[in-house]
Amino acid sequence: MSADVTLEDVRQDAGLEETEEPLDLAPVQRIIESLGETKGMLIPVLQEVQKVYGYVPEEAADMVADLMGIYPSQVFGVLTFYTQFHLTPRGRHIIRACSGTACHVRGGKSVISKLEHMLGIGHGETTEDMFASFEKVACLGACGLAPVIMIDNDAHGQLDAVKTERIMENLREMDMMKRGE
């Protein structure tokens, strides 16, 4: 990627929409002040930015580039290389379903199908109402409980489609109650 390609160019090419509300960028400045502006701190800085916003907004990435003296295209290169970074807002709940071997042979496929069906989205997508983002991952490190999913920080194991449906219904109910719906 050439250095004169801006982050905005790349995002437009990728069909990513711009956010309309102005973003408070003060945290970005504070993060760089505390971690330093050397190029080697780029990843820790971006990690902290993502912790603040839940993803790395375009304006924040531009500001990081500006304050650290790095081309925006280089920042975008890092953001797209590492799967830990997200360039669009994520749902209120992060649902990870394991597609690893242990889970697969114990019926993980039906669990994943149920999740995709109930959420109406596939891997790497977020529901329109921002209820949840969904990801398939190679192994959640709890193979003894296969098939396994993680909802936010909680693991749910020994699942089948029926149990998955119940868990998701509970999650939806809790989410609605929290939001006073």
Half-sphere exposure of 62 (CA within 13 A, CB side): 13
155 binds ligand FES (CB under 6 A): no
161 binds ligand FES (CB under 6 A): no
Q: Supply the minimum distance, in Å, between the C-beta of residue 104 and ligand FES.
A: 7
116-145 footprint of ligand FES as x/- string (CB under 6 A)? -----------------------xxxxx--
> Among residues 72 and 100, whose Cβ is nearest to ligand FES?
100
CA terminus-to-terminus distance, the chain: 46
Secondary-structure breakdown of the chain: helix, strand, coil percentages, each rounded to the nearest 5: 50, 10, 40
Residue 63 makes CB contacts below 8 A (sequence gap 6+) with 25, 28, 29
102 binds ligand FES (CB under 6 A): yes
Q: Rg of the chain over CA atoms, in angstroms?
A: 19
> Among residues 41 and 155, whose Cβ is nearest to ligand FES?
155
Residue ranges that bind ligand FES, judged by CB under 6 A:
98, 100-103, 139-143, 146, 148
